[in-house]
């Protein structure tokens, strides 16, 4: 690689980014007085459990569910212990179980597929398009008589092509569970993600947009789905929520604690501010590299609704993997913190080919498991989704923290312009 302007840091020049960039914990870094006070209030009341304690009082988790449903434009919300729990409870809520195939994208955290296995279903893996979200045309190709649901994942903050996903789902009578773990508060054509399909699942794990360390939420507009979800997430959720005795099904326990609820209430109230800051920062950074990107044939990640993007990252494609790696390395040397989304040498549980326990169809019990009971043999192989691997291998990713300063952005822009203008 040789430079066209100032000397590249990778070749001994001065790195463009001189002040350290904030780490990518959007809500986590904004934990402050509001969270402290909310947690202290719960601790002082000694009422750590949603349903009772030594002092009476309203439940933080109940309040969170109310405010979360209102914020997302959904009729119901059920708070749970994690995003994985949210996916599992929502799948049970949607009536997905043994023998059912569920279509998941090739690029998502393994939890989207593991949740299907956890309820006894079989994950079927589909290609992503240039948005790095599930390709609706490929969903249709992977449908069989056993397909019951689709999990579109709003990966890295960006909405899936929900109109097309919903059209395929409705045509084939499939349920849609939106995995919104990485896109809290983002939207598609004016609707918050998670509220478009039959249910939405959210994660509040520490590197998500809003967080309480670990936590999750299911939302839905369907009362029957809510009833089943609420019964499953709490061993006596049916009785607690006024569901008639004759309808009650056995549940487990994925209930959120009051401490998590307290933190999440404070975090939820910061969500729109976080989104506004990330969107501003991304727009500023993107604008500064548009000219060089166009000149050098660099293509930005396709956006199905740019206005709805949570803007947690900036992704662009180089013509091939070799050049993407070269550019990412040079950007790292500049201090920009870029990486390529797929490196065949390094395992990454966000990419289907590294989901080893799933790819090898391993089960917990020697007598069975979803794949062994399945009517048809399911085939997984590393080359199942070549298009997704090609896209990820050419995709350079940069985190967009809400806490970037103007100085940070200027320096990142300088590094990007330096590297992208060079010959590679
Ligand atoms: C796309 C996606 N789905 C599901 C999950 C699972 O969430 P959790 O870690 O809270 O169980 C994650 C978490 O990283 C995720 O990124």
Tens-digit pLDDT profile for residues 23-70: 999 999 999 999 999 999 999 999 999 999 998 889 999 999 999 999
283-306 average pLDDT score: 97
**For 345-363, what is the mean pLDDT?**
96
262, 60 Cβ separation under 8 angstroms: yes
Segment 183-193 mean pLDDT: 98
Token code pair at residue 233: 């997430």
- The answer to whether 262 and 39 are in contact (CB under 8 A) is yes
281 lines ligand 1 (CB under 6 A): no
Q: What is the whole-number distance in angstroms between the Cα of residue 179 and the centre of ligand 1?
A: 8
Dihedral angle sign, alpha carbons of residues 343, 110, 153, 405:
negative
Centre of ligand 1 to C-alpha 54, Å, is: 34
Q: Provide, rounded to the nearest whole percent, the portion of the chain with pLDDT above 70.
A: 99
The answer on pLDDT for 366 being more than 90 is: no
Whether residue 2 has pLDDT greater than 70? no
Q: Are 326 and 85 in contact (CB under 8 A)?
A: no
Is 258 close to ligand 1, i.e. is its CB under 6 Å away?
Answer: no
- Bridging pattern class, strands 338-340 and 395-399: antiparallel
Distance from C-alpha of 205 to C-alpha of 255, rounded to nearest angstrom: 15
The Cβ of residue 230 has, within 10 Å, a number of other Cβ atoms equal to 22
Q: Return the SS3 of 261.
A: helix
Mean pLDDT score, 93-113: 97
C-beta of 317 in contact with ligand 1 (< 6 A): no
- CA dist 180 and 184 (Å) reads 6
State which ligand 1 atom lies nearest to the alpha carbon of 154: 1
**Cα distance between residue 160 and residue 197, in whole Å:** 11
For the stretch 243-280, pLDDT in tens is 999 999 999 999 999 999 999 999 999 999 999 999 99
> For residue 1, what pLDDT band results from cuts at 50, 70 and 90?
low
- What is the overall mean pLDDT for the chain? 96
In the chain the domains, ranked by start, together with CATH numbers, are 33-270 (3.40.640.10)
In this predicted structure, the answer to whether residue 375 has a pLDDT above a threshold of 80 is no
**What separation in Å is there between the alpha carbon of 203 and the centre of ligand 1?**
6
Q: Residue 5 above 70 pLDDT?
A: no
Q: Note whether 282 and 311 are within 8 A (CB).
A: yes
DSSP letter, residue 196: S
Which residues are CB-neighbours of 339 under 8 A, at least 6 positions away? 328, 332, 396, 397
CB distance 28 to 402 below 8 Å: no
For 111-131, the pLDDT digits (tens) are 999 999 999 999 999 999 999
pLDDT for 367 equals 81
């Amino acid at each position: 690689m040789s430079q066209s302007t100032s000397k590249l840091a990778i070749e001994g020049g001065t790195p463009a980014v001189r002040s350290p960039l904030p780490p990518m914990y959007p809500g986590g870094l904004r934990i402050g007085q509001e969270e402290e006070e909310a947690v202290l209030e719960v601790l002082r009341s000694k009422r750590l459990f949603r349903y009772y304690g030594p002092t009476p009082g309203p439940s933080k988790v109940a309040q969170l569910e109310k405010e979360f449903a209102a914020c997302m434009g959904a009729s119901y919300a059920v708070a749970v212990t994690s995003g994985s729990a949210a996916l599992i409870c929502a799948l049970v809520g949607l009536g997905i179980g043994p023998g059912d195939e569920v279509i998941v994208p090739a690029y998502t955290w393994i939890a989207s597929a593991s949740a299907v296995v956890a309820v006894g279903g079989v994950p079927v893996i589909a290609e992503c398009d240039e948005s790095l979200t599930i390709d609706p045309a490929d969903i249709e190709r992977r449908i069989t008589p056993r397909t019951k649901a689709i999990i579109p994942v709003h990966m890295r903050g960006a909405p899936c092509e929900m109109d097309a996903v919903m059209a395929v789902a409705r045509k084939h009578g499939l349920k849609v569970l939106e995995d919104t773990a990485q896109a809290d508060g983002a939207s598609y054509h004016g609707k918050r993600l998670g509220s478009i399909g039959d249910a939405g699942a959210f994660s509040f794990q520490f590197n998500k947009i809003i967080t309480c360390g670990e936590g999750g939420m299911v939302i839905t507009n369907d009362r029957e789905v809510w009833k089943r979800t609420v019964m499953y997430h709490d061993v006596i959720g049916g009785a607690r929520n006024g569901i008639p005795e004759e309808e009650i099904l056995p549940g487990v326990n994925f209930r959120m604690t009051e401490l998590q609820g307290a933190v999440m209430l404070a975090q939820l109230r910061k969500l729109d501010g976080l989104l506004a800051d990330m969107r501003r920062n991304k727009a500023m950074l993107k604008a500064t590299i548009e000219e060089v990107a166009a000149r050098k044939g660099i293509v930005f990640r396709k956006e199905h609704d740019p206005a709805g993007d949570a803007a947690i990252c900036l992704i662009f494609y180089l013509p091939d993997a070799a050049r993407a790696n070269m550019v990412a390395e040079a950007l790292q040397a500049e201090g920009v913190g870029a990486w390529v989304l797929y490196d065949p040498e390094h395992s990454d549980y966000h990419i289907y080919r590294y989901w080893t326990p799933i790819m090898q169809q391993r089960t917990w019990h020697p007598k069975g498991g979803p794949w062994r009971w399945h009517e048809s043999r399911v085939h997984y192989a590393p080359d199942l989704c070549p298009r997704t691997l090609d896209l990820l291998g050419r995709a350079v990713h940069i985190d967009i923290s809400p806490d970037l300063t103007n100085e940070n952005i200027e320096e990142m822009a300088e590094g990007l312009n330096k590297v992208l203008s060079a010959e590679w």
